[in-house]
Structure 1
């Protein structure tokens, strides 16, 4: 027997609203793809358009992107992949452990630490640029991967999210594991970490996206051309003496692909993590 699904007026209106919002979000992305397939001069002569002229559409911009300056784009791409992967893994490990500890353990100073996390969430990152710059300089980490990664390994918002998610987990699992002789780290990694999989999926997407798109801090720390990340590297083509929009458009399209892959691999956990983690506590 086939069951027909009926939409209520509110549900139908919500669906139509989301379709309109999705279309508005997708239009700039389509413009970016179309612009990457044609000469930049045509964009400024004809204006913004979503029509594809197949007579002038080609992959010359991508060929120029991959061969320009001895293929330095791939060097920037590699830098972004390495930094994003390392920082995302470290953030997930450290923040999940901190959030788990704040949620499931009673110890002196717990509320003080959680209060500090909340305060740090209210502090704009731009205020910390000068002290962070002095710290990285004193540590001799300028123009290194570690100089980019180190200041962002324990973001307070990620700690808060893991803490809110872990609040809904039962402490009885830990008590039973302790009776069986499990240590604290084993309890976390073997018992609670699998139960926090939706939170890991959601934070993996958000963290990797933030690191991948980060422009200001890597631009300050990384000074040599071969160490730049993609956002800063692509901006070097925008100069007072000429703008290589052809390369920028093609490079921007290529830079979106890794984030799409990360989202596709974690989309179920992302939705479940935001839904559950956002209402617990």
Structure 2
């Protein structure tokens, strides 16, 4: 039995390594191609079959020394994604927590609205949201880009499901000790929800960082371009800078990897704990 168990373990490990390589193959191809000149990319495309003497760091040297617009786009994406993560976690967690632990008139109706909005594609809501941004005079501003993402229905739903598993006895004990409702949340309940905060920080950060369509609608000036929009401007009818585009795309992966490494210890726990009650 022990021999069969060891063999099965090796088979599973090999299978997972193969699956991981298949999943990482597009990223590895992108990284490899970022060291190739534009002529080689146009001739062979993204491939491992190249002349190794053609590999160089010219693309990255150009980005770091002669592409100020790229770093402006990078800064815009960092600011927007960072603020979106912080504000989304703050407001969405409070809404989800309130829907889970407090009983008030209209609670079920509000939760039903959250579920309905989750089922509606964002493309259906874009035009009403765009008109709202015009009325609020938030076109071509950071606020206009972030506002529709701050209170995400999926995030509210997740926090609500997670908060339903929190021990309400702690709330009763805190009230007896004279703690306010805000104190109960920030001092007692929020620390218990740390895994859910970590999971949602990764998902919200990923959504905001990769968001292309909505910023494309509300941004007018090059100074406010985010990375997805800025990189898209490198492809024009007059010339395609594939070498700079691919090297720039590789650099965009770095913040997401850092975000995941920072929160990964709580990521799986947050996803699984929020799926059940108790």
TM-score relative to the length of structure 1: 0.93
Partner SS, residue 220 of structure 1: helix
Q: 1:34 aligns with which of 26, 32, 35?
A: 32
Q: Are 1:153 and 2:150 an aligned pair?
A: yes
Alpha-carbon distance change, 5 to 174 in structure 1, aligned in 2, over 3 angstroms? farther
1:183 maps to 180
CA contact (8 A) 2:97 2:160 kept: yes
Gaps of 5+ in 1: none
CA contact (8 A) 2:139 2:219 kept: yes
CA distance in 1, matches of 2:151, 2:40: 45
CA contact (8 A) 2:129 2:148 kept: yes
Shift of 1:278: 2.2
After TM superposition, the structure 1 stretch with the greater mean CA deviation from structure 2, 108-117 or 52-61, is 52-61
1:98 maps to 95
Q: Are 1:43 and 2:44 an aligned pair?
A: no
**What RMSD in Å do the two structures reach over aligned CA positions?**
2.0
Matches within 5 A, 1:111-190: 111-190=108-187
CA distance in 2, matches of 1:78, 1:5: 55
CA contact (8 A) 1:30 1:50 kept: no
1:18-58 per-position Cα deviation (integer Å, ceiling 9, x unaligned) = 33321111111111111110112212323442256442211
After TM superposition, the structure 1 stretch with the greater mean CA deviation from structure 2, 198-207 or 43-52, is 43-52
CA contact (8 A) 1:136 1:147 kept: yes
Gaps of 5+ in 2: none
CA distance in 1, matches of 2:225, 2:138: 14
CA distance in 1, matches of 2:256, 2:8: 33
Q: 1:55 aligns with which of 46, 53, 56?
A: 53
TM-score relative to the length of structure 2: 0.94
Matched pairs, number: 277
After TM superposition, the structure 1 stretch with the greater mean CA deviation from structure 2, 10-19 or 176-185, is 10-19
CA contact (8 A) 1:34 1:52 kept: no
CA contact (8 A) 1:142 1:221 kept: yes
CA contact (8 A) 2:41 2:242 kept: no
CA contact (8 A) 2:30 2:46 kept: no
Q: Are 1:216 and 2:208 an aligned pair?
A: no
Shift of 1:108: 1.2
